[in-house]
Amino acid sequence: MLTIYEPTPCGVMFDLLKRRGGITHRELAGIVLSKRPLPSGRSPRDLAHERSWLSHSVVHAPAGSLSPRYFGDWGVAAVCVLGRLRSRRGRAMTADEVVSMLAGEPGRAMDRALELCREDACLYRNAVERFAGGEGLVPGERAEALLVLFVAAGCSADARAAVSYAMEYAHDTLGRRVDTPTVSPVVDAGREARPVPSTKLGLIRIEDGYVTGNPHWLPVSGEGAVVGALAMGDDDITDVGPGVSGRHLRVWYEENDGWFAEDLGSKNGTERIDGVSRDRVRLETGVPMPLRPADELVLAGATTLVAIEGVVG
pLDDT digits over 284-301, tens only?
898 888 898 889 999 999
Quick check: is 257 in a domain? yes
Looking at residue 310, its pLDDT comes to 75
Query: Does residue 250 contact residue 226 with C-beta atoms inside 8 Å?
Result: yes
**In whole angstroms, what is the distance from residue 294 CA to residue 285 CA?**
22
Taking Cα atoms as reference points, which of 127, 32, 23 lies closest to residue 75? 32
Is residue 221 domain-shared with residue 151, that is, in the same domain?
A: no
Looking at residue 180, its pLDDT comes to 67
Is residue 112 domain-shared with residue 215, that is, in the same domain?
A: no
Tell me the residue range of the domain where 247 lies. Answer: 201-309
Is residue 18 domain-shared with residue 164, that is, in the same domain?
A: yes
| Average pLDDT of the chain to the nearest whole number | 87
Mean pLDDT of 244-272: 91
Query: Does residue 207 contact residue 296 with C-beta atoms inside 8 Å?
Result: no
Q: What is the pLDDT of residues 97-145, one digit of tens each?
A: 999 999 999 999 999 999 999 999 999 999 999 999 866 677 888 888 9
Is residue 144 domain-shared with residue 248, that is, in the same domain?
A: no
Q: What is the pLDDT of residues 67-82, one digit of tens each?
A: 999 999 999 999 889 9
Mean pLDDT of 28-37: 94
Looking at residue 189, its pLDDT comes to 42
Q: What is the pLDDT of residues 170-224, one digit of tens each?
A: 888 777 666 666 665 544 444 444 443 445 899 999 998 888 888 999 998 889 9
Taking Cα atoms as reference points, which of 23, 22, 25, 1 lies closest to residue 11? 25
Taking Cα atoms as reference points, which of 10, 150, 24 lies closest to residue 75? 150
**In whole angstroms, what is the distance from residue 166 CA to residue 30 CA?**
21
239 has a pLDDT exceeding 80: yes
Looking at residue 236, its pLDDT comes to 96
Taking Cα atoms as reference points, which of 217, 213, 214 lies closest to residue 200? 217
Domain count, the chain: 2
Is residue 231 domain-shared with residue 106, that is, in the same domain?
A: no
CATH number at 260 reads 2.60.200.20
Quick check: is 236 in a domain? yes
Is residue 27 domain-shared with residue 133, that is, in the same domain?
A: yes
**In whole angstroms, what is the distance from residue 260 CA to residue 242 CA?**
24
Is residue 137 domain-shared with residue 215, that is, in the same domain?
A: no
Looking at residue 313, its pLDDT comes to 55
Looking at residue 31, its pLDDT comes to 92
14 has a pLDDT exceeding 60: yes
Last residue of a domain, one of 155, 172, 189: 172
Quick check: is 178 in a domain? no
Considering the chain, what percentage of its residues have pLDDT values greater than 70?
A: 88
Looking at residue 218, its pLDDT comes to 94
Mean pLDDT of 18-29: 94
**In whole angstroms, what is the distance from residue 228 CA to residue 241 CA?**
9
Is residue 19 domain-shared with residue 120, that is, in the same domain?
A: yes
Is residue 165 domain-shared with residue 242, that is, in the same domain?
A: no
